[in-house]
Amino acid sequence: MATLSKARVIALLCAAAAVLSTSGCGWGRTVAEKDALDANSTTATSAKSSCVDTSGDTIKIGFVNSLSGTMAISEQTVSDSLHMAVDEINANGGVLGKQLKVVQQDGKSEPAVFAEKAKTLIEKECVAAVFGGWTSSSRKAMLPVFEADNALLFYPLQYEGMESSPNIFYSGAAPNQQIVPALDYLKEKGYKKLFLVGSDYVFPQTANRVVKAYAAGNGMEVVGEEYTPMGSTDFTTIVNKLKFSGADAVVNTLNGDSNVAFFKEYKASGLKADTVPVISMSIAEEEVSAIGVDNVKGQLTAWNYYQTLDSAENKKFVKDFKAKYGENRPTSDPMESAYTSVYLWKGMVEKAKSFDVDKVKAAADGVTFDAPEGKVTVDGENHHIYKTSYIGEIGDDKLIHTVWQSDGPIKPDPYLKTYDWAKSLSASSESNE
């Protein structure tokens, strides 16, 4: 049996922490760990023999989404869009002539369950790839499972960065494609005093380290930082602190149904979008309806897709989704990213002319897809995606309308190596090895 690398041991410890506590393990894979993993990829991905069956007319793929629990409000739509992508692909001949057969699992909003279901999909259901996860805790819990079995996970959510894995493709935004553009926008508009509110787990904690480093390097000040347990519904104290903090803007990294309670309390306190705006990293069109548009209209979001984007690809995507799931169902960034990830996997498999994991990974670099969000391209070096960034404002129509966008797709920089103000983040992550 191969000796476990240092990177693997740390990844396993991270996953254990994520399973035992929603606070996870903070930084994920550090720069030094990533370099060690890249230099020793054979050891890091030594795995059991794959049980994927390619002999028939079908090939299995797995979906793992929270269909119950606090995250179901967000993750059900991701599952729906994944199924839609599969139905489209099957209607057009499948992948390498094989029809895709979906095995769906419920992560139940619990990192430990995600790890368990991922293992079931890989080792018992023998799927060729897995799509899903939402919280960073769920991803970190699954990461060592995919590395141990040398299987593929396509993770659709924007996330905090400071991580890469040879067995994960990240189709959501890296921090330089969401967090940094959001802060650039606030800076451009003259906001200098920030209040940070988030759920008490990996993404908000790490994302806010990025926010604090950015603020320190760009003449801004963080005047408050508050976290609350996943699923929390009592925001009286936090909003009171916000109101008297002197903040002129809020960076929101709450997840799931906690957003409903936060924005209701925010409105009840007399705070308003035109005086102390909130820019949210995890509120999309689906959540707007759940929160209530009267509680969030005029507020800002940072994403890489909105239903209102004006392109032929997006108009078709929106039309098809509503035809399949109902006219009242909106589209959103996470579900569009998940939908796109299935097509990217298809492109990799067809370029490789094989379902073999190592061949698919080797073929990944440069694979493109004309997605509803715009053209996306896989970066084979770090397994992230070139993506266009958008800042949007929530309208009375429950939709999000673009108020700023990047000049084009941004090269993914998960470790923020290209920013001088972020050097302390890299130094901090290296000190944790």
DSSP codes of every residue in 24-52: TTTT-S-HHHHHHHHHTHHHHT--PPP--
Q: What is the mean pLDDT of the chain?
A: 89
| Residue keyed to tokens 């499948």 | 94
Q: Which residues lie closer than 8 Å to 42 by C-beta, 6 or more apart?
A: none
Beta carbons within 8 Å of 85's beta carbon, 6+ residues apart:
338, 339, 342, 343
Instruction: Give the C-alpha separation, 344 to 154, whole Å.
Output: 9
Q: Which of 35-39, 108-112, 195-199, 409-413 is predicted with the least confidence, judged by mean pLDDT? A: 35-39
- The per-residue pLDDT for 427 is 56
Average pLDDT over residues 15-41: 40
pLDDT grade, residue 363 (50/70/90)? very high
The pLDDT confidence band at residue 27, using thresholds 50, 70 and 90, is very low
Of 23-37, 144-158, 187-201, the poorest mean pLDDT is in 23-37
HSE at residue 217, side-chain half, CA atoms within 13 A, is 16
> Alpha-carbon distance 260 to 256, whole Å?
8
Quote the radius of gyration of the chain (alpha carbons, Å): 20
CATH superfamily of 44-172+314-386: Response regulator (3.40.50.2300)
Is a pLDDT exceeding 60 seen at residue 203? yes
Predicted confidence (pLDDT) at residue 113 exceeds the cutoff of 50: yes
List the one residue out of 430, 390, 417, 425 whose CA is nearest residue 215. 425
- CA–CA separation, 40 vs 116, rounded Å? 27
Task: Give the CA diameter of the chain.
Answer: 65
Residues facing 379 on adjacent strands: 384
Look at the alpha carbons of 427, 198, 29, 416 in this order and tell me if their dihedral is positive or negative: negative
Which residue's structure tokens are 């949007």? 392
pTM of the predicted structure, to 2 decimals:
0.86
The reported pLDDT for the residue numbered 36 is 42
Is-contact 283 252, C-beta < 8 A? yes
Query: Which fold does the domain 176-305+390-431 belong to in CATH?
Result: Rossmann fold (3.40.50)
Element spanning 197, H or E: strand 193-199
Asked whether the CA dihedral 199, 205, 211, 216 is positive or negative, the reply is: positive
Q: CATH 3.40.50.2300 spans which residues of the chain?
A: 44-172+314-386, 176-305+390-431
E-strand stretches of 291-410: 300-303, 368-371, 374-379, 384-386, 390-394, 400-405
Residues 6+ apart with CB under 8 A from 387: 173, 177, 304, 373, 374, 376, 409, 410, 412
